[in-house]
Chain A
Amino acid sequence: MRFVDEFRDAETARALAARISARCEPGRRYKFMEVCGGHTHTIYKHGIEDYLPEAVTLVHGPGCPVCVIPMGRVDDAIHIARQPDVIMTSFGDMMRVPGGESTFLDAKAEGADIRMVYSPLDALKIARTHPDRRVVFMAIGFETTAPSTAVTVLRAAEEGIENFSVFCNHVLIIPAIKAILDSPDLRLDGFIGPGHVSTIIGCRPYEFIARDYRQPFVVAGFEPLDILHSVDMLLGQLAEGRGEVENQYARVVPWDGNRIAMEAIGTVMRVRPHFEWRGLGFISHSALGMAEEYAAFDAERIFDIPGTRIADPKACQCGEVLKGVLKPWECKVFGTACTPETPIGTCMVSSEGACAAYYNFGRFSRERVREATRA
Protein backbone atom coordinates (compact mmCIF):
# COMPACT_ATOMS: atom_id res chain seq x y z
CA MET A 1 0.00 0.00 0.00
CA ARG A 2 1.38 3.35 -0.93
CA PHE A 3 0.64 6.58 0.86
CA VAL A 4 0.80 9.68 -1.23
CA ASP A 5 1.28 13.19 0.01
CA GLU A 6 -2.44 13.94 0.38
CA PHE A 7 -2.15 12.74 3.91
CA ARG A 8 -0.80 15.55 5.99
CA ASP A 9 0.90 12.97 8.08
CA ALA A 10 1.69 9.78 6.20
CA GLU A 11 2.96 8.07 9.37
CA THR A 12 -0.36 8.56 11.14
CA ALA A 13 -2.27 7.46 8.06
CA ARG A 14 -0.27 4.27 7.87
CA ALA A 15 -0.79 3.58 11.56
CA LEU A 16 -4.52 4.22 11.25
CA ALA A 17 -4.87 1.97 8.23
CA ALA A 18 -3.06 -0.80 10.07
CA ARG A 19 -5.28 -0.41 13.12
CA ILE A 20 -8.41 -0.37 10.96
CA SER A 21 -7.37 -3.69 9.41
CA ALA A 22 -6.57 -5.14 12.81
CA ARG A 23 -9.93 -4.09 14.24
CA CYS A 24 -11.95 -5.92 11.58
CA GLU A 25 -13.24 -9.26 12.86
CA PRO A 26 -12.39 -12.06 10.44
CA GLY A 27 -15.31 -12.90 8.19
CA ARG A 28 -17.33 -9.84 9.20
CA ARG A 29 -18.20 -7.09 6.73
CA TYR A 30 -18.77 -3.47 7.69
CA LYS A 31 -20.83 -0.88 5.86
CA PHE A 32 -20.59 2.74 6.94
CA MET A 33 -22.50 5.62 5.43
CA GLU A 34 -20.94 9.03 5.00
CA VAL A 35 -23.92 11.34 5.17
CA CYS A 36 -22.31 14.47 3.79
CA GLY A 37 -21.46 15.21 0.16
CA GLY A 38 -18.26 16.93 1.28
CA HIS A 39 -17.05 13.60 2.66
CA THR A 40 -18.02 11.81 -0.55
CA HIS A 41 -15.88 14.32 -2.40
CA THR A 42 -12.85 13.67 -0.16
CA ILE A 43 -13.31 9.91 -0.36
CA TYR A 44 -13.27 9.81 -4.16
CA LYS A 45 -10.73 12.55 -4.62
CA HIS A 46 -8.21 10.81 -2.42
CA GLY A 47 -9.23 7.26 -3.18
CA ILE A 48 -9.79 6.60 0.54
CA GLU A 49 -11.33 3.22 -0.19
CA ASP A 50 -7.98 2.09 -1.56
CA TYR A 51 -6.60 2.42 1.95
CA LEU A 52 -9.35 0.46 3.66
CA PRO A 53 -9.50 -3.31 3.99
CA GLU A 54 -11.92 -5.21 1.72
CA ALA A 55 -14.23 -5.82 4.65
CA VAL A 56 -15.04 -2.12 5.00
CA THR A 57 -17.35 -0.45 2.48
CA LEU A 58 -18.29 3.20 2.47
CA VAL A 59 -21.69 4.09 1.04
CA HIS A 60 -22.83 7.56 0.20
CA GLY A 61 -25.74 9.28 1.84
CA PRO A 62 -28.26 11.99 1.01
CA GLY A 63 -26.20 14.92 2.27
CA CYS A 64 -25.88 16.90 -0.94
CA PRO A 65 -28.54 19.64 -0.81
CA VAL A 66 -28.57 20.23 -4.56
CA CYS A 67 -29.04 16.52 -5.21
CA VAL A 68 -32.21 16.22 -3.16
CA ILE A 69 -34.15 19.09 -4.77
CA PRO A 70 -37.07 17.49 -6.62
CA MET A 71 -37.64 18.51 -10.23
CA GLY A 72 -41.02 20.02 -9.42
CA ARG A 73 -39.41 22.60 -7.12
CA VAL A 74 -37.07 23.69 -9.92
CA ASP A 75 -40.07 24.14 -12.21
CA ASP A 76 -41.88 26.11 -9.49
CA ALA A 77 -38.85 28.38 -9.11
CA ILE A 78 -38.68 28.95 -12.86
CA HIS A 79 -42.40 29.76 -12.79
CA ILE A 80 -41.72 32.44 -10.16
CA ALA A 81 -38.74 33.74 -12.16
CA ARG A 82 -41.03 34.31 -15.16
CA GLN A 83 -43.48 36.54 -13.25
CA PRO A 84 -43.39 40.27 -14.03
CA ASP A 85 -40.62 42.28 -12.37
CA VAL A 86 -39.04 39.26 -10.70
CA ILE A 87 -35.31 38.78 -10.25
CA MET A 88 -34.66 35.19 -9.17
CA THR A 89 -31.40 34.58 -7.30
CA SER A 90 -29.66 31.42 -6.10
CA PHE A 91 -26.29 29.77 -5.62
CA GLY A 92 -24.25 28.80 -8.67
CA ASP A 93 -24.87 25.11 -7.99
CA MET A 94 -28.59 25.56 -8.72
CA MET A 95 -28.07 26.83 -12.25
CA ARG A 96 -27.73 23.45 -13.97
CA VAL A 97 -30.13 21.40 -11.84
CA PRO A 98 -32.62 19.84 -14.24
CA GLY A 99 -36.30 20.56 -13.68
CA GLY A 100 -39.08 18.84 -15.57
CA GLU A 101 -38.64 21.02 -18.61
CA SER A 102 -35.54 23.12 -18.19
CA THR A 103 -32.84 24.45 -15.90
CA PHE A 104 -32.27 27.94 -14.50
CA LEU A 105 -29.68 28.42 -17.23
CA ASP A 106 -32.20 27.55 -19.98
CA ALA A 107 -34.83 29.83 -18.45
CA LYS A 108 -32.29 32.62 -18.24
CA ALA A 109 -31.40 32.16 -21.91
CA GLU A 110 -35.11 32.49 -22.67
CA GLY A 111 -35.26 35.85 -20.95
CA ALA A 112 -35.99 35.21 -17.27
CA ASP A 113 -33.86 37.37 -14.98
CA ILE A 114 -32.03 34.76 -12.95
CA ARG A 115 -28.83 35.70 -11.17
CA MET A 116 -26.20 33.72 -9.37
CA VAL A 117 -25.28 35.00 -5.91
CA TYR A 118 -22.62 34.00 -3.43
CA SER A 119 -24.71 34.78 -0.37
CA PRO A 120 -28.36 35.46 0.49
CA LEU A 121 -27.05 38.84 1.68
CA ASP A 122 -26.03 39.55 -1.93
CA ALA A 123 -29.61 38.79 -2.98
CA LEU A 124 -30.84 41.22 -0.33
CA LYS A 125 -28.49 43.83 -1.70
CA ILE A 126 -29.99 43.38 -5.18
CA ALA A 127 -33.43 44.01 -3.62
CA ARG A 128 -32.12 47.15 -1.93
CA THR A 129 -30.68 48.53 -5.16
CA HIS A 130 -33.70 47.52 -7.31
CA PRO A 131 -36.71 48.78 -5.34
CA ASP A 132 -38.90 48.51 -8.44
CA ARG A 133 -38.23 44.76 -8.83
CA ARG A 134 -39.32 41.75 -6.77
CA VAL A 135 -36.23 39.86 -5.71
CA VAL A 136 -36.62 36.20 -4.76
CA PHE A 137 -33.87 34.07 -3.22
CA MET A 138 -34.19 30.35 -3.91
CA ALA A 139 -32.84 29.00 -0.65
CA ILE A 140 -31.34 25.52 -0.65
CA GLY A 141 -29.17 23.67 1.82
CA PHE A 142 -29.17 21.81 5.10
CA GLU A 143 -28.89 23.40 8.55
CA THR A 144 -25.45 24.65 7.52
CA THR A 145 -27.03 27.16 5.17
CA ALA A 146 -30.46 27.79 6.74
CA PRO A 147 -29.14 30.23 9.40
CA SER A 148 -27.70 32.45 6.64
CA THR A 149 -31.12 32.66 5.00
CA ALA A 150 -32.80 33.26 8.36
CA VAL A 151 -30.42 36.06 9.36
CA THR A 152 -30.87 37.66 5.92
CA VAL A 153 -34.65 37.69 6.40
CA LEU A 154 -34.26 39.20 9.89
CA ARG A 155 -32.08 41.89 8.35
CA ALA A 156 -34.63 42.57 5.57
CA ALA A 157 -37.36 42.89 8.21
CA GLU A 158 -35.27 45.30 10.31
CA GLU A 159 -34.53 47.45 7.29
CA GLY A 160 -38.13 47.31 6.12
CA ILE A 161 -37.22 45.95 2.69
CA GLU A 162 -40.48 44.95 1.07
CA ASN A 163 -39.38 43.61 -2.30
CA PHE A 164 -37.38 40.63 -1.00
CA SER A 165 -38.65 37.12 -0.45
CA VAL A 166 -37.37 33.59 0.01
CA PHE A 167 -38.44 30.45 -1.86
CA CYS A 168 -37.51 28.18 0.99
CA ASN A 169 -36.15 24.72 0.24
CA HIS A 170 -34.02 24.16 3.31
CA VAL A 171 -33.93 20.53 4.35
CA LEU A 172 -33.15 18.83 7.66
CA ILE A 173 -30.52 16.17 8.10
CA ILE A 174 -32.03 14.17 10.98
CA PRO A 175 -35.26 13.08 9.21
CA ALA A 176 -33.20 12.06 6.17
CA ILE A 177 -30.93 9.89 8.31
CA LYS A 178 -33.97 8.42 10.02
CA ALA A 179 -35.57 7.61 6.65
CA ILE A 180 -32.43 5.74 5.68
CA LEU A 181 -32.28 3.88 8.99
CA ASP A 182 -35.91 2.83 8.52
CA SER A 183 -35.45 1.82 4.90
CA PRO A 184 -35.42 -1.95 4.44
CA ASP A 185 -32.99 -1.84 1.47
CA LEU A 186 -29.91 -1.09 3.43
CA ARG A 187 -28.18 -2.53 6.45
CA LEU A 188 -25.58 -0.22 7.92
CA ASP A 189 -23.06 -0.61 10.73
CA GLY A 190 -22.54 3.05 11.49
CA PHE A 191 -22.30 6.59 10.22
CA ILE A 192 -19.61 9.09 9.36
CA GLY A 193 -21.53 12.16 10.47
CA PRO A 194 -21.60 15.51 8.67
CA GLY A 195 -19.12 18.17 9.75
CA HIS A 196 -20.52 21.57 8.84
CA VAL A 197 -24.15 20.75 9.59
CA SER A 198 -23.01 19.74 13.06
CA THR A 199 -21.32 23.09 13.72
CA ILE A 200 -24.90 24.40 13.72
CA ILE A 201 -27.02 21.60 15.24
CA GLY A 202 -24.28 20.14 17.44
CA CYS A 203 -23.96 16.43 18.24
CA ARG A 204 -26.94 15.85 20.52
CA PRO A 205 -29.58 15.46 17.77
CA TYR A 206 -27.80 12.26 16.67
CA GLU A 207 -28.15 10.60 20.05
CA PHE A 208 -31.36 8.81 18.99
CA ILE A 209 -29.32 6.83 16.45
CA ALA A 210 -27.15 5.43 19.19
CA ARG A 211 -30.09 4.98 21.56
CA ASP A 212 -32.82 3.61 19.28
CA TYR A 213 -30.79 1.95 16.54
CA ARG A 214 -27.67 1.06 18.54
CA GLN A 215 -25.38 2.31 15.83
CA PRO A 216 -22.15 4.25 16.23
CA PHE A 217 -22.11 7.76 14.80
CA VAL A 218 -18.89 9.75 14.43
CA VAL A 219 -19.01 13.40 13.38
CA ALA A 220 -16.02 13.81 11.09
CA GLY A 221 -13.79 16.41 9.49
CA PHE A 222 -13.09 16.65 5.77
CA GLU A 223 -9.44 15.74 5.44
CA PRO A 224 -8.48 12.27 4.27
CA LEU A 225 -6.96 11.62 7.68
CA ASP A 226 -10.23 12.63 9.37
CA ILE A 227 -12.11 10.01 7.37
CA LEU A 228 -9.62 7.26 8.25
CA HIS A 229 -9.72 8.36 11.87
CA SER A 230 -13.51 8.19 12.01
CA VAL A 231 -13.60 4.74 10.39
CA ASP A 232 -11.17 3.66 13.10
CA MET A 233 -13.42 5.16 15.79
CA LEU A 234 -16.51 3.44 14.36
CA LEU A 235 -14.74 0.07 14.32
CA GLY A 236 -13.50 0.72 17.84
CA GLN A 237 -17.06 1.26 19.07
CA LEU A 238 -18.28 -1.89 17.32
CA ALA A 239 -15.42 -3.94 18.76
CA GLU A 240 -16.31 -2.77 22.25
CA GLY A 241 -20.02 -3.26 21.68
CA ARG A 242 -20.73 0.45 21.99
CA GLY A 243 -23.08 2.55 19.87
CA GLU A 244 -22.44 6.20 20.71
CA VAL A 245 -22.17 9.63 19.21
CA GLU A 246 -18.54 10.72 19.08
CA ASN A 247 -17.03 13.92 17.78
CA GLN A 248 -13.89 13.44 15.70
CA TYR A 249 -14.12 17.05 14.47
CA ALA A 250 -14.16 18.76 17.88
CA ARG A 251 -11.61 21.27 16.60
CA VAL A 252 -14.48 22.84 14.62
CA VAL A 253 -17.75 21.31 15.87
CA PRO A 254 -18.98 22.31 19.34
CA TRP A 255 -20.96 19.54 21.04
CA ASP A 256 -23.92 21.87 21.56
CA GLY A 257 -23.83 23.49 18.12
CA ASN A 258 -24.47 27.17 17.52
CA ARG A 259 -27.16 28.68 19.71
CA ILE A 260 -27.50 31.91 17.74
CA ALA A 261 -27.92 30.09 14.44
CA MET A 262 -30.56 27.74 15.84
CA GLU A 263 -32.48 30.68 17.30
CA ALA A 264 -32.45 32.51 13.97
CA ILE A 265 -33.84 29.42 12.22
CA GLY A 266 -36.46 29.00 14.95
CA THR A 267 -37.59 32.62 14.63
CA VAL A 268 -37.91 32.82 10.86
CA MET A 269 -38.77 29.25 9.83
CA ARG A 270 -41.06 26.40 10.77
CA VAL A 271 -40.72 22.67 10.16
CA ARG A 272 -43.01 21.60 7.30
CA PRO A 273 -45.36 18.65 7.87
CA HIS A 274 -43.71 16.91 4.93
CA PHE A 275 -41.46 17.68 1.99
CA GLU A 276 -40.54 15.85 -1.18
CA TRP A 277 -36.93 14.77 -1.61
CA ARG A 278 -35.61 13.83 -4.97
CA GLY A 279 -35.27 10.09 -5.16
CA LEU A 280 -36.42 9.57 -1.57
CA GLY A 281 -40.02 10.73 -1.92
CA PHE A 282 -41.97 12.52 0.82
CA ILE A 283 -40.36 12.57 4.25
CA SER A 284 -42.29 13.86 7.27
CA HIS A 285 -41.02 16.94 9.11
CA SER A 286 -37.95 17.01 6.88
CA ALA A 287 -37.77 20.59 5.67
CA LEU A 288 -38.22 24.19 6.69
CA GLY A 289 -40.73 26.70 5.38
CA MET A 290 -41.16 30.34 6.34
CA ALA A 291 -42.97 31.08 9.60
CA GLU A 292 -46.38 32.79 9.50
CA GLU A 293 -44.84 35.84 11.19
CA TYR A 294 -42.53 36.27 8.20
CA ALA A 295 -45.21 35.67 5.57
CA ALA A 296 -44.26 38.98 3.92
CA PHE A 297 -40.93 37.39 2.97
CA ASP A 298 -42.34 34.04 1.86
CA ALA A 299 -42.34 33.57 -1.92
CA GLU A 300 -44.76 30.66 -1.50
CA ARG A 301 -47.34 33.03 -0.03
CA ILE A 302 -46.57 35.97 -2.34
CA PHE A 303 -46.67 34.11 -5.64
CA ASP A 304 -49.15 31.68 -7.01
CA ILE A 305 -47.06 28.53 -7.17
CA PRO A 306 -48.14 25.59 -9.30
CA GLY A 307 -46.76 23.03 -6.81
CA THR A 308 -45.50 20.94 -9.70
CA ARG A 309 -44.88 17.26 -9.04
CA ILE A 310 -42.84 15.35 -11.55
CA ALA A 311 -41.64 11.81 -11.31
CA ASP A 312 -37.90 11.38 -11.80
CA PRO A 313 -36.94 10.20 -15.29
CA LYS A 314 -37.08 6.41 -15.66
CA ALA A 315 -33.38 6.13 -16.44
CA CYS A 316 -32.45 8.04 -13.31
CA GLN A 317 -31.37 6.06 -10.26
CA CYS A 318 -30.46 8.99 -8.04
CA GLY A 319 -32.80 7.70 -5.33
CA GLU A 320 -30.81 4.50 -4.97
CA VAL A 321 -27.56 6.44 -5.06
CA LEU A 322 -28.79 8.91 -2.41
CA LYS A 323 -29.79 6.03 -0.15
CA GLY A 324 -26.45 4.33 -0.65
CA VAL A 325 -28.08 1.27 -2.24
CA LEU A 326 -26.29 1.74 -5.56
CA LYS A 327 -22.79 2.98 -6.25
CA PRO A 328 -22.75 5.77 -8.86
CA TRP A 329 -21.24 3.62 -11.58
CA GLU A 330 -23.99 1.04 -11.13
CA CYS A 331 -26.57 3.49 -12.53
CA LYS A 332 -27.37 2.50 -16.11
CA VAL A 333 -26.80 5.96 -17.55
CA PHE A 334 -23.70 6.86 -15.53
CA GLY A 335 -21.00 8.38 -17.69
CA THR A 336 -22.92 7.72 -20.91
CA ALA A 337 -26.21 9.63 -21.08
CA CYS A 338 -25.56 11.28 -17.71
CA THR A 339 -22.37 13.35 -17.35
CA PRO A 340 -21.55 16.61 -15.53
CA GLU A 341 -22.03 18.45 -18.85
CA THR A 342 -25.44 16.92 -19.52
CA PRO A 343 -26.74 15.71 -16.16
CA ILE A 344 -29.91 13.61 -16.09
CA GLY A 345 -29.91 13.31 -12.34
CA THR A 346 -28.99 15.85 -9.68
CA CYS A 347 -26.19 13.70 -8.20
CA MET A 348 -24.21 14.57 -11.33
CA VAL A 349 -24.69 18.34 -10.95
CA SER A 350 -23.03 19.45 -7.76
CA SER A 351 -19.39 18.63 -7.14
CA GLU A 352 -20.58 17.15 -3.83
CA GLY A 353 -22.94 14.78 -5.62
CA ALA A 354 -21.71 11.19 -5.49
CA CYS A 355 -21.98 10.72 -9.26
CA ALA A 356 -20.08 13.90 -10.13
CA ALA A 357 -17.43 13.13 -7.52
CA TYR A 358 -16.97 9.63 -8.88
CA TYR A 359 -17.06 10.81 -12.48
CA ASN A 360 -14.38 13.42 -11.81
CA PHE A 361 -12.08 11.37 -9.65
CA GLY A 362 -13.08 7.73 -9.94
CA ARG A 363 -10.96 6.85 -12.90
CA PHE A 364 -8.02 8.59 -11.37
CA SER A 365 -8.40 6.49 -8.28
CA ARG A 366 -8.80 3.21 -10.17
CA GLU A 367 -5.71 4.03 -12.22
CA ARG A 368 -3.83 4.57 -9.03
CA VAL A 369 -4.89 1.29 -7.51
CA ARG A 370 -3.54 -0.48 -10.54
CA GLU A 371 -0.35 1.50 -10.33
CA ALA A 372 0.01 0.82 -6.63
CA THR A 373 -0.51 -2.91 -6.95
CA ARG A 374 2.08 -3.04 -9.68
CA ALA A 375 4.62 -1.05 -7.64
Chain B
Amino acid sequence: MCLGIPGELVGTVEEFTDLAMVDVSGVRRRINMGLLADDDLKPGDWVLVHVGFALSKISESEAKAVMDMLHGIGQAYTDEIDALKESDIS
Protein backbone atom coordinates (compact mmCIF):
# COMPACT_ATOMS: atom_id res chain seq x y z
CA MET B 1 0.00 0.00 0.00
CA CYS B 2 2.93 2.33 0.42
CA LEU B 3 3.75 2.31 -3.24
CA GLY B 4 3.74 5.49 -5.25
CA ILE B 5 2.94 4.66 -8.85
CA PRO B 6 3.58 7.01 -11.78
CA GLY B 7 0.57 8.05 -13.81
CA GLU B 8 0.13 10.39 -16.75
CA LEU B 9 -2.53 13.03 -16.58
CA VAL B 10 -4.78 12.53 -19.62
CA GLY B 11 -7.67 14.85 -18.79
CA THR B 12 -8.30 18.13 -17.10
CA VAL B 13 -8.91 18.57 -13.38
CA GLU B 14 -12.62 18.89 -12.54
CA GLU B 15 -13.61 21.73 -10.31
CA PHE B 16 -15.06 20.90 -6.86
CA THR B 17 -14.05 17.20 -6.94
CA ASP B 18 -10.41 17.87 -7.95
CA LEU B 19 -10.56 14.62 -9.94
CA ALA B 20 -8.79 14.02 -13.22
CA MET B 21 -8.34 11.02 -15.50
CA VAL B 22 -4.89 9.50 -15.07
CA ASP B 23 -3.31 6.68 -17.03
CA VAL B 24 -1.42 4.30 -14.76
CA SER B 25 0.25 1.51 -16.71
CA GLY B 26 -2.57 1.56 -19.26
CA VAL B 27 -5.28 1.58 -16.57
CA ARG B 28 -7.32 4.80 -16.72
CA ARG B 29 -8.93 5.88 -13.48
CA ARG B 30 -10.02 9.11 -11.84
CA ILE B 31 -7.44 10.33 -9.33
CA ASN B 32 -7.68 13.23 -6.89
CA MET B 33 -5.31 16.07 -7.80
CA GLY B 34 -6.22 18.37 -4.90
CA LEU B 35 -2.91 18.02 -3.07
CA LEU B 36 -1.11 19.42 -6.12
CA ALA B 37 -3.35 22.45 -6.62
CA ASP B 38 -0.23 24.66 -6.37
CA ASP B 39 1.46 22.84 -9.26
CA ASP B 40 -0.58 24.02 -12.24
CA LEU B 41 -1.01 20.58 -13.79
CA LYS B 42 -1.86 20.00 -17.43
CA PRO B 43 -2.48 16.94 -19.60
CA GLY B 44 0.75 15.11 -20.33
CA ASP B 45 2.19 15.83 -16.87
CA TRP B 46 3.31 12.90 -14.72
CA VAL B 47 2.42 12.42 -11.08
CA LEU B 48 3.13 9.87 -8.36
CA VAL B 49 -0.17 8.26 -7.36
CA HIS B 50 -0.86 6.83 -3.90
CA VAL B 51 -4.25 5.44 -2.77
CA GLY B 52 -6.16 7.50 -5.32
CA PHE B 53 -4.31 10.78 -4.75
CA ALA B 54 -1.52 12.45 -6.69
CA LEU B 55 1.29 13.08 -4.19
CA SER B 56 3.85 14.87 -6.28
CA LYS B 57 4.57 15.98 -9.80
CA ILE B 58 7.49 14.16 -11.39
CA SER B 59 9.38 14.37 -14.66
CA GLU B 60 8.68 11.92 -17.45
CA SER B 61 12.12 10.36 -17.11
CA GLU B 62 11.60 9.87 -13.37
CA ALA B 63 8.23 8.29 -14.14
CA LYS B 64 9.88 5.83 -16.53
CA ALA B 65 12.57 4.95 -14.01
CA VAL B 66 10.05 4.35 -11.22
CA MET B 67 7.96 2.26 -13.60
CA ASP B 68 10.92 0.05 -14.50
CA MET B 69 11.66 -0.45 -10.84
CA LEU B 70 8.04 -1.29 -10.00
CA HIS B 71 7.84 -3.85 -12.80
CA GLY B 72 10.78 -5.54 -11.14
CA ILE B 73 9.19 -5.87 -7.70
CA GLY B 74 6.51 -8.28 -8.86
CA GLN B 75 3.63 -9.20 -6.57
CA ALA B 76 3.32 -5.99 -4.55
CA TYR B 77 3.03 -4.04 -7.79
CA THR B 78 0.52 -6.35 -9.47
CA ASP B 79 -1.60 -6.26 -6.31
CA GLU B 80 -1.56 -2.48 -6.39
CA ILE B 81 -2.60 -2.34 -10.06
CA ASP B 82 -5.34 -4.93 -9.43
CA ALA B 83 -6.65 -2.80 -6.57
CA LEU B 84 -6.55 0.27 -8.80
CA LYS B 85 -8.57 -1.54 -11.47
CA GLU B 86 -11.33 -2.05 -8.89
CA SER B 87 -11.31 1.63 -8.04
CA ASP B 88 -14.15 3.84 -9.21
CA ILE B 89 -13.72 7.19 -7.56
CA SER B 90 -16.25 9.88 -8.35
Contact = CB atoms under 8 A, between A and B. Distances in A.
B37 A148 contact: no
A195 B50 CA distance: 13
B12 to A, nearest CB: 18
A147 to B, nearest CB: 6
A260 B37 contact: yes
Contact of B52 (A8, A120, A200): A120
Contact of A144 (B17, B32, B55): B55
Interface in A344-368: 350-352, 360
A122 B87 contact: yes
Contacts, number: 124
A352 B73 CA distance: 11
Interface string B5-30: 00000000000010000000000000
Given A120-B51, A196-B4, A222-B66, A261 B35 contact: yes
Contacts of B3: 38
Given A119-B51, A196-B55, A125 B90 contact: yes
B55 A199 contact: yes
A117 B1 CA distance: 11
A91 B72 CA distance: 22
B41 to A, nearest CB: 13
Nearest to A8: B65
A222 B87 contact: no
Residue of A6, A91, A118, A195 with most chain B CB atoms under a 10 A cut-off: A118
A109 B43 CA distance: 43
Interface residues of B, number: 37
Contacts of B52: 118-122, 148
B87 A258 contact: no
A331 to B, nearest CB: 21
A117 B36 CA distance: 23
Contacts of B65: 8, 223
Given A92-B79, A125-B90, A141-B2, A118 B50 contact: no
A148 B2 CA distance: 13
Given A122-B52, A259-B38, A41 B73 contact: yes
A120 B51 CA distance: 7
B84 A6 contact: no
Interface in A40-66: 41-42, 45, 64-66
A119 B89 contact: yes
B4 A258 contact: no
A254 interface: yes
Contact of A125 (B35, B68, B75, B88): B88
Nearest to A139: B51
A92 B56 CA distance: 23
Contacts of A350: 1
A155 B16 CA distance: 9
Contacts of B37: 260
Given A251-B59, A260-B37, A261-B35, A65 B2 contact: yes
B68 A8 contact: yes
A145 interface: yes
Contacts of B2: 36-38, 64-65, 141, 144-145, 196, 352
Interface string B36-55: 11100000000010111101
A116 interface: yes
A252 B62 contact: yes
Nearest to A224: B69
Interface of B: 1-4, 17, 32, 34-38, 48, 50-53, 55-56, 58-59, 62, 65-66, 68-69, 72-73, 75-76, 79, 83-84, 86-90
Given A45-B72, A119-B87, A145-B1, 9 more contacts: A37-B2, A64-B2, A91-B1, A118-B83, A145-B51, A199-B56, A222-B69, A252-B58, A350-B1
15 contacts: A6-B72, A41-B76, A91-B51, A92-B1, A118-B87, A119-B89, A120-B52, A141-B1, A148-B52, A196-B4, A222-B66, A258-B35, A258-B55, A260-B34, A352-B76
The 3 A-B residue pairs with the shortest CB-CB distance, nearest first, are: A119-B52, A351-B76, A118-B87
